[in-house]
Structure 1
């Protein structure tokens, strides 16, 4: 791919997904701005480091100056006390979008989550425009992330793509991943497509590999972003039992949707 994506900011670049996206985009950008509260080192001449917190509006505005797009990956990645999720995921996304508005950033790619619909049963094929059915407090915070993106698109004209990230792993590590796996290659493919597609106001799409057993619809990703995933978890199926209780029914979120997943994080 020989297109130059311009000046791209990645928040949360020190995380696993951040490292993968960074590596996947590095050769196609004029400048890659690496934003994280953890120490990060520039590995090439076209990388610039900004250390800061996603709730620090001033720090974000400095990092966003002259940027063409922001890939927002920072936040809490799993179930946690609600106040922590509000701070990291909801307030953090609000601050990122507000910094983008103030600095004239054209497009923001948000790391949403498949967990916004993890309460649907596994036999239900979910389309992105169906009502949210979060499988926990984390899923609720990601519903709010999408709502903020929609509002900033409608009210302020930002171009926003919310990627409902599947199970991002090098390869599947549990039975559920045969349906939900997002490979590193497809992860970069979805992010690159979200940065380059034309005529976007707001789009929420499932970012998941082309798994034969998936229960999320990929049409929006193909129509809105022009990306069709290439990997399939089916090749790893022999490593998992066919009679796993996950396939007997229940929510798409699996263990994430159980009371035990959330109860430890509720107030005493």
Structure 2
């Protein structure tokens, strides 16, 4: 490809993807609301931009074939603070893609679009949304936005319901939900190089023995995760307290986001060894 645009390039996962994406195109345009992303790769340029402002987004997509859209507030905050980056930002990406003829958007969705399902329910890609927070609701909005732009305008999109993308699992929940960085890169690569995707939802999880989701409907992408959180199970269980079954954060897929007060960050409750969804 001639050009790929990466939003949220200075985020934890954006930084993990820059090298992969640079190898798949002639020109990688990385963007973030932050002032920079560090040292640039040979074929990478950086543009500081606010995704909530259409006049800053549209020029980024000129001449692009695909957008890897990871830019957003990655936390639970009051709705009015989420509106610009997480809702308007997605609209600005898809509407710019429509105007400029961009072929496909690969979007960092989240398990939090489905976070209120009980852990005892194995969830697939066809079940209705059950968001756990305003953050999760923004993911539902963008998935539906992507479906509409596919059905009405022919813009393809792959929505990656990322679960727990970290250097290693940090708690018992992550023994099922972990997504290694190597598997993240494979998932994004398959979302880009699969010839036809239409509108597709796929869960971002590794090959975990305790995986709580079903990706069979997205098997055509060729995503075959290799890492397994089970190698960390003994270490995790040695420090994990007994489960509190009255806590939605321990009984629902969304973890601490499921028990969070709307508009209030639950990040302080999360055991994050390095980087998380």
**TM-score, normalised by the number of residues in structure 2:** 0.88
* Residues 182-220 of structure 1 deviation map (CA, whole Å, 9 limit, x = unaligned): 110011111111111122210111111111111111213
| Matching of residues 188-267 of structure 1 within 5 Å | 188-223=185-220, 225-241=221-237, 244-246=241-243, 250-258=251-259, 260-262=260-262, 264=264
The answer to whether residue 12 in structure 2 is matched with residue 16 in structure 1 is yes
Closer/same/farther in 2, CA of residues 124 and 60 from structure 1, 3 Å limit: same
Q: How far is 1:11 from its partner? A: 0.4
- The 5-angstrom pairing of residues 1-268 of structure 1 reads 5-40=1-36, 41=38, 43-223=40-220, 225-241=221-237, 244-246=241-243, 250-258=251-259, 260-262=260-262, 264=264
CA distance in 1, matches of 2:131, 2:243: 18
8 Å Cα contact 1:25/1:188 also seen in 2:
no
- Give distance in 1, aligned partners of 2:185 and 2:264: 34
**Structure 1 residue matching 2:75: 3-state secondary structure:** coil
Distance 1:152 1:176 in 2: 34
Indicate if the aligned counterparts of 1:37 and 1:51 stay in contact, CA closer than 8 A.
yes
Cα separation, partners in 2 of 1:109 and 1:263, compared to 1, 3 Å:
closer
Q: CA deviation at 1:42?
A: 5.3
Mapped to 2, the partners of 1:171 and 1:135 lie a distance apart of 24
For the aligned residues, what is the CA RMSD? Answer: 1.8
Separation in 1, partners of 2:242, 2:262: 21
8 A Cα contact 2:109 2:162, kept in partner: yes
Structure 1 contact 79–261 (Cα < 8 Å) conserved: no
> Is the contact made by 2:169 and 2:229 (CA closer than 8 Å) also made in structure 1?
yes
2: CA distance between counterparts of 1:117 and 1:105? 28
Tell me the alpha carbon deviations over residues 66-111 of structure 1, each in whole angstroms, 9 at most, x when there is no partner: 1110000000112111112222211110011111111111110111
Flag the 1:263–1:61 CA change in 2: closer, same or farther, 3 A. Answer: closer
Greater alpha carbon shift after TM alignment, 51-60 vs 111-120: 51-60
Scaled by the length of structure 1, the TM-score of the pair is 0.91
Equivalent pairs counted in the alignment come to 259
Matched position secondary structure for 1:71:
strand
Q: CA offsets per residue over residues 18-50 of structure 1, 9 Å max, x none? A: 000112222232111111121225523211111
Q: Find the residue that maps to 1:44 and give its secondary structure.
A: coil
Does the 8 A contact of 2:111 with 2:162 survive in 1? yes
> Does the CA-based 8 Å contact 1:161-1:194 persist in structure 2?
yes
